[in-house]
Chain A
Amino acid sequence: MKTKSSDHLGEDILGLLDLSPIEPAHKAELQAHLATCAPCRQALDEYRQALEAFDQTSTNHEPSEVFDANLRARLDALDQERNEPVSAMPSRPASRRRDGARKGSVFSPRRWFPEVNMRRSTGSMRSRGPLPALAAFGAVGIGAAALIAIWLHVPVEGGPPDRSNVPARSEIAESFGASNLLEVAEFFDVAEDLSLYEDFGVVENFDVIEDLDVIESLDEGSAG
């Protein structure tokens, strides 16, 4: 038996109030407990009063005389709309076309999303509505974003990048209290790495790479 706060019955009390199925044996067990537990008897009594009050808050409402007629009119209109031949659609009056556009074609999240949830929950989801338009809009947006990203990462031709904000080497060396960068690199034991970076200027020069004679002359020089 569950124990909960002030009374001992917890959710099992729903079985005694006919709000939940309960095994007869378990019901007898609960009633035996009630016979010996005054707080639980009081709790059960309070629950009964609450249920009685709850029942009284709502009364069964008889539909008005116009209820059936109004619904039939709506259903007739739906039937009429459904039975209109497809070929007749372009010749509908302009006022109806505007009405149709206002009701069916213009995307309104407030109107559409509850509709989608309803259709999904009731198994009547259809592939109409602004979903294809949304998908197309999303695809175009993603494509545009990709193009912009590619464009931003392509180096601009026609001139070296602006390095006006980059401090001069001498300034960097002075900030470390050295006369040149090589001293700084040797201090941090990264002189070899610095030499690699120093050579990058040659590597970036595609004219030199394409000129194989230059490489051969370098090999000869190193061999000599």
Chain B
Amino acid sequence: MNEDEDAEVMAQFVASRDRRLFDRLFQRYRRPMVSYAQRFVRNPARAEELAQDVFVRVFTTKKYTADTRFKTWLYTVATHVCLNEVRRIEHRLEFTPLDPASPSHHPMARIATTPEGQAEARQLGHEIQRTLDALPTKQRTALLLVRQEGLSHEDVAQVLSVSVPAVKSLVHRALEALRQDVRRYQEFGEPQPAPKPTKSEIDNTGASPHENQV
């Protein structure tokens, strides 16, 4: 099933409400949607709930035309669902950062072969993760969609409601922030962890310090 067929199937489903058509799309995108949601919340159970929300919205939509690219439309829905979730204060309060002391906790630690290498990889992985969390949502989402979901710049522009050149800029700025982590790590070895926001800070702002930047 290619992507144009997806759009056709979705348009037919909206017209007929035939569950079999919906199931075809669901089977094709269930795993990408759960993975995509988990990149935002990093909580498997919550990611599955968000992915379900996405498919419920797909199921209940009444306006879809076959000239809309299904994958782009689906990721637009998913991005809105996930960003609504990460903007919730409750999510930030519930979120528990990875424990730096925990061995082999971070995925990066799995690729290193020696204990020293594992420790270094784990440390850098935590730094990268922390930087990702602090990135403005559009930068992080643009990088996620381009690098990990394989969307074109045109599709990402549509998902994020920005221009195509803006997508390039968002991706570059996100990557530049991650690169600075690599540079700091190479220069200082073990960088000092950034201070975690306190509950009162979160309550006062309702968003992370970088949340509203583009």
Contacts and interface: CB of A to CB of B under 8 A. Distances in A.
Contacts of B22: 75
A14 interface: yes
B92 interface: no
A51 B171 CA distance: 11
Contacts of A125: 63
B111 interface: yes
B77 interface: yes
A191 to B, nearest CB: 64
Interface residues of B, number: 59
Interface in B35-75: 35, 38-39, 44, 47-48, 51-52, 55-57, 59-64, 68, 73
A124 interface: yes
A61 B47 contact: yes
B76 interface: yes
B161 to A, nearest CB: 8
The SS class assigned to the A binding surface is helix
Interface stretch (A64-72, A94-102, A142-150, A182-190): A64-72
Nearest to A6: B183
Contacts of A64: 44, 48
A171 interface: no
Given A46-B183, A62-B31, A57 B107 contact: yes
A50 B73 contact: no
Contact of B179 (A19, A46, A61, A124): A46
B80 A47 contact: no
Given A58-B35, A71-B52, A118-B77, A124 B44 contact: no
Interface in A19-33: 19-21
B21 interface: no
Interface in B100-153: 106-108, 111, 121, 124-125, 128-129, 132, 143-144, 146-148, 152-153
A59 B111 CA distance: 13
Nearest to A49: B182
B124 A60 contact: no
A71 B125 contact: no
A63 interface: yes
A74 interface: yes
Given A54-B128, A63-B51, A122 B44 contact: no
A43 B129 CA distance: 20
B212 interface: no
A2 B143 CA distance: 21
Given A78-B60, A122-B77, A11 B168 contact: yes
A121 interface: yes
A222 interface: no
Interface string B197-208: 000000000000
Contacts of B183: 46
Contacts of B56: 71, 74-75, 78
A193 interface: no
Nearest to A50: B178
B175 A123 contact: no
Nearest to B132: A57
Given A50-B175, A53-B178, 8 more contacts: A19-B175, A47-B179, A57-B108, A58-B148, A63-B34, A63-B51, A67-B48, A70-B48
Interface of A: 10-11, 13-14, 17, 19-21, 43, 46-47, 49-51, 53-64, 67-68, 70-71, 74-75, 78-79, 114, 117-118, 121-126
